[in-house]
């Protein structure tokens, strides 16, 4: 396999431009992101995901590069892959805004014919659906994390709940519970640490 291309885009326009030119001829790319403490302004991960979906791509893994940067791997979606309810919702919003490309729409229509990969999981999960997280947040020593979750917007909370619920193994689920709590205490968004996987 050839070495993965690395790119740095500071605005959604730059990222969309790269996708527009390369979404068919490239299969994957590492999008370099600067961490918040560097002070370098970058568009957020949610916007990066939306733009990728418009061109039939999806984010996969995050990796730490150094103290200032981390990378998010984006790949061209496999035609046989299943979508998540969350990705469908994002795609529908992009279609509504007139941002979906022809190729992205083709992938969306193909995905619509299959069951979602989170089929069977609650569409709008609550804390009661994630007992491992609830148990940790109820511990006296984790009051700061509990307060952080309580202040979080419902959509951000659901994003964390889904991320934890998608873990197939118990040890992975607990790892995500601990990472979620650390993110909340340090006021970091999901994915911003470069370790959320």
Please write the tens of the pLDDT for every residue from 62-78: 888 999 999 999 999 98
pLDDT above 80 for 186: yes
One domain, residues 85 and 138: no
- Confidence band of 197 (pLDDT split at 50, 70, 90): very low
Residue 67 belongs to domain spanning:
6-111
One domain, residues 153 and 101: no
One domain, residues 10 and 102: yes
Q: Are 78 and 37 in contact (CB under 8 A)?
A: no
pLDDT above 80 for 81: yes
- Amino acid 25: pLDDT: 93
On the CB side of 57, how many CA atoms lie within 13 Å of its CA?
A: 29
Return d(Cα 152, Cα 156) in angstroms, integer. Answer: 6
One domain, residues 22 and 96: yes
One domain, residues 103 and 11: yes
- Confidence band of 126 (pLDDT split at 50, 70, 90): confident
- Most confident segment among 34-48, 79-93, 148-162: 34-48
Count how many domains the chain has.
2
pLDDT above 90 for 195: no
One domain, residues 21 and 76: yes
SS3 label, residue 60: strand
């Amino acid at each position: 396999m050839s070495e993965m291309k690395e790119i740095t885009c500071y605005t959604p326009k730059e990222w969309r431009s790269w996708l527009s030119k390369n979404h068919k001829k490239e299969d994957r790319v590492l999008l370099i992101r600067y961490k918040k403490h560097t002070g370098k302004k970058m568009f957020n991960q949610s916007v990066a995901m939306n733009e990728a979906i418009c061109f039939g791509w999806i984010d996969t893994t995050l990796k730490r590069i150094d103290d200032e940067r981390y990378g998010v791997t984006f790949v061209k979606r496999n035609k046989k892959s299943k979508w998540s309810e969350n990705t469908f919702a994002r795609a529908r919003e992009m279609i509504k805004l007139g941002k979906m490309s022809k190729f992205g729409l083709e992938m969306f229509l193909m995905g619509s014919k299959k069951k979602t990969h989170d089929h069977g999981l609650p569409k709008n999960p609550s804390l009661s659906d994630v007992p491992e997280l609830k148990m940790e947040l109820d511990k006296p020593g984790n009051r700061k994390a509990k307060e952080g979750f309580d202040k979080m917007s419902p959509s951000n909370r659901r994003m964390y709940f889904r991320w934890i619920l998608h873990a197939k193994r118990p040890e992975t689920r607990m790892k995500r519970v601990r990472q979620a709590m650390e993110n909340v205490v340090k006021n970091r968004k999901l994915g911003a640490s470069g370790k959320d996987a």
